[in-house]
Structure 1
Amino acid sequence: MTNETRERVTELLTSLISFETENPPGNEREAAEFIYDWFREEGIEPSLIDEPNAARPQVAVRVGEGDPTVVLNGHIDVVPAGDGDQWSYPPYEPTIEDDVLYGRGSADMKAGVAVAMLATVDIAAAVEAGELEGTVVFHAAMGEETAEPGTKTLLESGYTGDYGIVLEPTSLRTATSEKGLAWYEITVAGDPSHASRPDHGTNAIANVRPVLDALEAYDTDVRTREDDLLGCSYATVTEFEAGTKENVVPESATITVDRRFLPSETAGDVDSEIDELLATVEADHGIDTSWRRTRTYESAEIPVDSTLAEVVRNHSAAVADVPTDPWGIQASTDVRNLVNDAEMEAITWGPGELDQAHTYDEHIELPEVVAGYEVLWRVLEDLFEP
């Protein structure tokens, strides 16, 4: 079975990687249409979902009948490949060397999508033969890399269930919690003037200094907030932009803050903290500021001893000798939609190393992808046992 699985996984995964699905701008259409056609060729009727963006359709599949229903979720968008000269192999020409498959999206997360597609087809055959009882829902979602409501829309369209697995790369470890992410743009005002007469204006860059000091103190404070599985919170300044021309005193400057937060916090809580921080700076230094939250991934968690988590941990250990201790993922994924919006018992789990996400020469080890399929099959077989 392993050799056959390897051939099936390799063929499907290389096909998926060959589609350039970069987001931005959002080029998922061709890959979505391929997935749609692939399921039809396998005798399964999928749905092509035009919401929330008709130019970037999603694919949803439901097979089987009865309880429980397990959702297998994956996204088909990838981050841009960047400078092609930095790649050892062309990013959209998947290449295999010594059991390692190279290509953009190999780890994040087309391997997970391929494993889920194959498992969906095989479960359908087992259910039809009367060997298993249960329902699988498959998602090929758009827009995950930019926090767009792809998965959320699929859930709202009825493609939900009792359990959920988001097949992001975790090296087959089972994550029952994840950090949230909020990006903030803070604008600091000044008053423009010609640089030959700088005292006729107010340099926004100078006004930024107390804001940066306050953000540094804020980061120190939030790092004291800790979670047993996820570590601490962060507030990191990641971008700074100011000025329009060399000889113009800038009238504004913009700071970007990446705020990673724990399940005990919410984006609303962070909003209040940013608001209070800037109000204090304005009062103490007499400067004008404004802010907006530009992107949000809420945090999510389920009990570490949930039924699904225990089943996946046990089979991952049996197949791939993966640790069974409780674990959380520090990255943000669409599992938040399954847990928070659809109130599902859901985990993040899948083949591939998270460190490979968004890198040059992104790659995945094919034996781990095969192991991922075998674990997923055993999990579904366990949950669907008549």
Structure 2
Amino acid sequence: MSRDPAEVNEYPTDLSSLAAALVRIESENPPGNEQACAEYVYDWFDHHRIDATLLREPDPDRPQVGARVGTGGPTLVLNGHLDVVPAGDPDEWTYPPYDGVIDDGRLYGRGSVDMKTGVAIAMLSAYNLRSEIESGELDGSIVIHAAIGEETAAPGTKSLLEAGFDGDFGIVLEPTELRVATSEKGMAWYEIGWAGEPAHASRPDQGRNPIEHIQPVTDALTDYDARLRERSDPLCGQAYGTVTQVVAGADSNKAVLPDRAYVTLDRRILPEETITEVDEEVAELIDTLNREHGIAATWERHETYASAEIPVDHRLAGVVRDHSEAVADISPEPWGIKASTDVRDFVNSAGIPAITWGPGSLAQAHTIDEYVELAAAETGLVILERAARTLLTEDSSVSN
């Protein structure tokens, strides 16, 4: 076992050291602690004389970074996010979640696979290709995003694109085991709640217990999920509607009937479905519940990730597939990712064709003892630089 100490070189240019340095900077979201990590990324670019900006939009307390190498076209945008989900109890980890330990070819730590290694690959691709871009050997430019808030659907990537850190095509460097995803599911969280009437539990008939309605609500949502599972996308798989929270009385005295109960529905949305259509389905489901059971429930949609897709035969996807197959024998078959990423901000908001692609397994994301295989990450860096060289030419069209 070894720790690959960042202090040997504060701004390293080898992948394992840079990824480990990023992992060692805690940037949990919630609550949104990206500032220290964003400042390090900005300083890294500044140290290596790469033009970078520390942006304080959309949240002045949560800066993010946009950087650029070159001024010509076409422009490739390499996107990653700085926030990580909370690590939980550090005693449950084999290695402390923010020590950035390297052991037996793996980098361990929260964010190692989701997705600070992807951010490091973006940074190093810009650094490694700078001389070819600045000399004119390559015609185009590279833009790098180190965005905030991806884990909670904050508009970090969207605001970077709106601030001018955009381009002709984009790669969102989430872990896909180096498979090219041209489509992805969306996701929305729905809070479905209804009121009770508090009373002492020794006199329950003086109040109204909202817990009595939890069973019919969850039964209805289970039936809804069964219907959703009959819908399928050839690349992304099934739609789902999963109850992930049931809450009543958690913040009150145990001898008092709760004043409210709610459930959270996690709805996974196929590319052909729209948020408006899903809202209408949920509204109809709640209306039926209210009529049949007298619940008077209401619903509210919280974090929302729209689904997104580009044609499977788009040239961007083809170039990255070709290099992934040539370097690492990755299947070139069309594929879609079942999770949700910031690729939607490229495709839906900015009209920029983009794919999700990167090293590491999504199965490791958000887990205890999260890790990334460093050999796979190094392979990803080679593939990305080869693909960028192909794409950054004057005749590199992003049309189908």
TM range (shorter): over 0.9
- In structure 1, what is the Cα distance between the partners aligned to 2:219 and 2:64? 44
Q: Percent identity?
A: 56
> Which stretch has the larger CA shift, 215-224 or 184-193?
184-193
Equivalent in 284, 288, 309 of residue 296 of structure 2: 288
Matches within 5 A, 1:4-153: 8-153=14-159
- Cα deviations across residues 66-109 of structure 1 (Å, max 9, x unaligned)? 22111100001111111111111111111111111111111000
> TM-score of the superposition, structure 1-length normalised?
0.96
Supply the distance in 2 between the matched residues of 1:246 and 1:30 (Cα, whole angstroms): 41
Q: Alignment partner of 1:46: what SS?
A: strand
Displacement of 1:294 = 1.3
Structure-2 separation of matches of 1:192 and 1:37? 55
Report what 1:240 is aligned to. Answer: 246
Work out whether 1:301 is the aligned partner of 2:301.
Answer: no
CA distance in 1: counterparts of 2:67 and 2:51, whole angstroms: 7
Query: Take 2:145 and 2:13, find their aligned partners in 1: how far apart are those partners?
Result: 23
List alignment gaps of at least 5 residues for structure 1: 1-5
Superimposed CA distance per residue, residues 252-282 of structure 1 (whole angstroms, 9 cap, x where no aligned partner):
2111110001011122211111111111111
Q: What's 1:157 paired with?
A: 163
Deviation, 1:246, is 2.1
- 8 Å CA contact 1:188–1:208 kept in 2: the answer is no
Structure 1 residue runs of 4 or more that deviate by more than 6 Å after TM superposition: none
Q: Distance in 2 between matches of 1:272 and 1:128?
A: 52
Task: Give me the whole-angstrom Cα distance separating, in 1, the residues matched to 2:31 and 2:17.
Answer: 27
CA deviations over 1:133-159 (Å, ceiling 9, x no partner)? 101111000111111010010011111
Q: Is the 8 A contact 2:74 2:393 kept in 1?
A: no
Alignment-mate amino acid for residue 343 of structure 2: V
Equivalence for 1:334: 342
Pair 1:253 & 2:261 matched: yes
The 1-side partners of 2:43 and 2:255 are apart by 58
> How far, CA to CA, are the matches of 1:119 and 1:141 in structure 2?
17
8 A Cα contact 1:137 1:160, kept in partner: yes
Alpha-carbon offset, residue 285 of structure 1? 1.7
Instruction: Give 1:354's aligned amino acid.
Output: L
Is residue 2:316 matched to residue 1:314? no
What are the within-5 Å matches in structure 2 for residues 347-386 of structure 1? 347-385=355-393
Is contact 1:189-1:207 (8 Å) kept? no
Partners of 2:257 and 2:135 in 1: how far apart?
74
Distance 1:313 1:221 in 2: 35
Out of 225, 228, 235, which is 2:231 matched to? Answer: 225
Instruction: Work out which of the residue numbers 286, 303, 310 in structure 2 matches 1:278.
Output: 286
Once residues 376 and 157 of structure 1 are traced to their aligned partners in structure 2, the CA distance between those partners, rounded to angstroms, is 25
Q: C-alpha distance in 2, partners of 1:52/1:321?
A: 40
Equivalent position to 1:184, from 187, 190, 194 = 190
The 8 Å contact of residues 79 and 171 in structure 2, kept in 1 or not, is answered as: yes
